Amino acid sequence: MSTLLSPEVTTVGSLADRCDRCGAAAKIKIVLPAGGDLAFCGHHGTAYAGAINKVAARIEVDGGFGWGGVPAP
């Protein structure tokens, strides 16, 4: 199980979700510790990377997207 300091990060083939902020194709999907999830396009996922890493229990990243917000192991 991950902690708030180190969310589990997995790469998935692709995401079918849309960005919750702008409606573009999602590149990052986060699962919150209390349940529920949020999806972000590459732009918003990168813009919110710091906050995402603080609140996510799990992060799914589209396999074709090189997300710079991935926390160091």
Residue 50 structural domain:
8-62
Give per-residue pLDDT as tens, 9-41. 899 998 999 999 999 999 999 999 999 999 999
Q: How many domains does the chain have?
A: 1
Q: 71 lies in a domain?
A: no
Q: 21 lies in a domain?
A: yes
The phi and psi torsions of 38 (rounded to 5 degrees) equal: -135, 145
Amino acid at 14: S
Give per-residue pLDDT as tens, 34-69. 999 999 999 999 999 999 999 999 999 998 898 877
Is 17 within 8 Å of 44 (Cβ atoms)? Answer: no
Residue 55 half-sphere exposure toward CB, CA atoms < 13 A: 14
Element (H, E) at 44: helix 42-47
